[in-house]
């Protein structure tokens, strides 16, 4: 317990789940928290700070331009709105009413996921393609690029691609059919960091827009994200999320995002207004990004995590009715963790029961629940701090004695 949480009368938890939104993300590096506090002391022009963010992120991603959003889901909403409206302020003002506009977003059926709600929020209709036989077990195939090509019509605004290590078809093949049809590809790469090389990968492979979460592995504020890509699309996204309550004469957009002559006048507050990032989030995200790509900061963090995972493994390995292994966190291959497999019969309880007891105990411990079907409980080192391994082990031996 400390400070603000004590004042609010709420408890802190031990986060062995990793930087998930449900458990408030991760712990900010002191440099990131300091940058946010520093940013909070002065006011700035939001176009100017987003313009500077664009230059810095463009440098790290290879994209033409970028903005900081309130998260990757915000990036999906803004990216979709940009693909639908382009730089036409009349269309921007009408969204989510898309009558008379291109408003279909084509995606492989196996890429459907609960974050694509953000795409539909902009007014787009999803067009699902292919059958994921490899997941149903009935066959070996998934959607293929020719099927995506065949689904493109004059109503297609974009192709949505969910980047995951096992995503099919390959992004390069999707980009090929998209470019042939003149349709932009929007990549949801929210959780594809680390490795840091992935900051460039999807742009290199030809994506028109890519969105990343700022509050996951980058280590930025929980409500931050990145939308990067082609300048005209990013400019549209910026116009649909930044505050435009000013006269056109007053507006001084940064050339890194948009030339004033690109549009006839300013749109109203747009469909993306709820996606706004504050100066504190922008400062925090840019600082986290700088640390994320710096080899020494990366190495330091990796050493701390490896030591915490090792300590946790050593403390847990004798727990009765379990088998423990030091393995990567199940969502983030680069981050070490501990996986504990329970002999549910001998223990007299299921993995889900143990996860619930951990969660409902004191201290409240949140573990990775993604593999309960294998009687397995995961502990990620991503957000652990000194003292947590011992506290987790003490609680586990109480629950399984």
Ligand X SMILES: *Cc1c(COP(=O)(O)O)cnc(C)c1O
Residue whose entry in the numeric block shows the structure tokens 């490899």: 134
Beta carbon of residue 92, minimum distance to ligand X (angstroms, whole number):
22
Q: Judged by CB, which is closer to ligand X: 148, or 218?
A: 218
Beta carbon of residue 161, minimum distance to ligand X (angstroms, whole number):
11
Asked if 281 interacts with ligand X (CB under 6 A), we say no
Q: Judged by CB, which is closer to ligand X: 237, or 347?
A: 237
Asked if 117 interacts with ligand X (CB under 6 A), we say no
Total residues at interface with ligand X (CB under 6 A): 11
Asked if 18 interacts with ligand X (CB under 6 A), we say no
CA–CA separation, 186 and 206 (whole Å): 10
CA–CA separation, 284 and 277 (whole Å): 11
Question: Environment class of residue 174 by beta-carbon count within 10 Å: exposed (0-12), middle (13-18) or buried (19+)?
Answer: buried
Task: Determine contact, residues 302/127, Cβ cutoff 8 Å.
Answer: no
CA–CA separation, 347 and 299 (whole Å): 39
CA–CA separation, 270 and 58 (whole Å): 24
Task: Determine contact, residues 239/44, Cβ cutoff 8 Å.
Answer: no
Beta carbon of residue 107, minimum distance to ligand X (angstroms, whole number):
12
Q: Which residue is nearest to ligand X (CB)?
A: 71
Choose the binding region for ligand X from 96-104, 184-192, 275-283, 348-356 (rule: CB under 6 A): 184-192
Which residue of 47, 115, 161, 313 would you call a contact of ligand X, by CB under 6 A?
Answer: 115
Q: Judged by CB, which is closer to ligand X: 238, or 263?
A: 238
Q: Judged by CB, which is closer to ligand X: 21, or 59?
A: 21
Beta carbon of residue 313, minimum distance to ligand X (angstroms, whole number):
26
CA–CA separation, 121 and 295 (whole Å): 38
CA–CA separation, 32 and 34 (whole Å): 5
Choose the binding region for ligand X from 52-60, 71-79, 91-99, 127-135 (rule: CB under 6 A): 71-79
Binding track, positions 21-40, relative to ligand X; x by CB under 6 A: x-------------------
Residue whose entry in the numeric block shows the structure tokens 């639908």: 84
Asked if 72 interacts with ligand X (CB under 6 A), we say yes
CA–CA separation, 46 and 243 (whole Å): 8
E strand or H helix that includes residue 161: strand 156-162
- Give the count of alpha carbons within 13 A of 175, CB side only: 15
Q: Judged by CB, which is closer to ligand X: 228, or 347?
A: 228
Asked if 191 interacts with ligand X (CB under 6 A), we say yes
CA–CA separation, 75 and 380 (whole Å): 27
Asked if 71 interacts with ligand X (CB under 6 A), we say yes
H helices of 128-245, in order, are 133-136, 145-151, 171-181, 198-204, 231-241
Task: Determine contact, residues 176/124, Cβ cutoff 8 Å.
Answer: no
Asked if 12 interacts with ligand X (CB under 6 A), we say no
Q: Judged by CB, which is closer to ligand X: 190, or 233?
A: 190
Q: Judged by CB, which is closer to ligand X: 191, or 240?
A: 191
Beta carbon of residue 213, minimum distance to ligand X (angstroms, whole number):
3
Q: Judged by CB, which is closer to ligand X: 117, or 268?
A: 117
Which residue of 26, 86, 215, 337 would you call a contact of ligand X, by CB under 6 A?
Answer: 215
Residues 6+ apart with CB under 8 A from 303: none
Three-class SS of residue 37?
helix
Phi, psi of 51 (to 5 degrees): -65, -40
H helices of 184-226, in order, are 198-204
Q: Judged by CB, which is closer to ligand X: 220, or 389?
A: 220
Beta carbon of residue 275, minimum distance to ligand X (angstroms, whole number):
9
Which two three-digit tokens encode residue 24? Answer: 């408030």
Beta carbon of residue 348, minimum distance to ligand X (angstroms, whole number):
35
Asked if 256 interacts with ligand X (CB under 6 A), we say no
Beta carbon of residue 190, minimum distance to ligand X (angstroms, whole number):
3
Q: Judged by CB, which is closer to ligand X: 118, or 148?
A: 118
Residue ranges in contact with ligand X by CB under 6 A:
21, 71-73, 115, 188, 190-191, 213, 215, 225
């Amino acid at each position: 317990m400390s400070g603000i949480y004590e004042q609010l009368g709420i408890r802190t938890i031990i986060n062995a789940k990793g930087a998930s939104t449900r458990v408030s993300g991760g712990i900010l590096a002191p440099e990131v928290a300091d940058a946010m506090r520093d940013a909070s002391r002065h006011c700035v022009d939001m176009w100017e700070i987003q313009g500077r963010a664009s230059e810095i992120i463009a440098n790290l991603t290879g994209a033409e331009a970028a903005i900081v959003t309130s998260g990757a889901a915000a990036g999906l909403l803004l990216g979709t709105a940009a693909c639908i409206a382009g730089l036409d302020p009349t269309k921007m003002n009408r969204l989510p009413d898309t009558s008379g506009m291109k408003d279909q977003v084509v995606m492989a059926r196996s890429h459907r996921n609960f974050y694509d709600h953000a795409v539909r929020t902009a007014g787009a209709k999803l067009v699902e393609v292919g059958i994921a036989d490899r997941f149903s077990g009935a066959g070996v195939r998934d959607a293929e690029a020719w099927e995506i090509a065949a689904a493109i019509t004059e109503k297609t605004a974009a192709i949505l691609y969910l980047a995951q290590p096992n995503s099919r078809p390959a992004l390069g093949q999707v980009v090929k059919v998209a470019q042939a049809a003149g349709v932009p590809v929007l990549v949801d790469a929210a959780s594809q960091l680390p490795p840091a090389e992935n900051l460039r990968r999807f742009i290199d492979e030809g994506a028109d827009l890519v969105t990343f979460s700022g509050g996951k592995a980058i280590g930025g504020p929980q409500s931050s994200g990145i939308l990067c890509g082609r300048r005209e699309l990013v400019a549209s996204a910026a116009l649909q999320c930044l505050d435009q309550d000013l006269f056109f004469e007053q507006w001084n957009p940064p050339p890194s995002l948009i030339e004033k002559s690109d549009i006839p006048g300013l749109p109203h507050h747009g469909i993306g207004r709820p996606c706004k990032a504050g100066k504190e989030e922008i400062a925090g995200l840019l600082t986290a990004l700088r640390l994320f790509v710096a080899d020494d900061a990366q190495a330091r963090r990796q050493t701390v995590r490896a030591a915490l995972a090792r300590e946790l493994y050593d403390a847990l390995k004798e727990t009765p009715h379990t088998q423990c292994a030091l393995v990567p966190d199940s969502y983030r291959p680069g981050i070490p963790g501990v996986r504990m497999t329970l002999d549910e019969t001998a223990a007299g309880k299921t993995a889900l029961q143990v996860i619930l007891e951990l969660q409902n105990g004191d201290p409240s411990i949140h573990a990775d629940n993604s593999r309960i079907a294998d009687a397995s409980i995961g502990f990620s080192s991503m957000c652990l701090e000194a003292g947590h391994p011992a506290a987790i082990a003490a609680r586990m031996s109480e629950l399984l004695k």
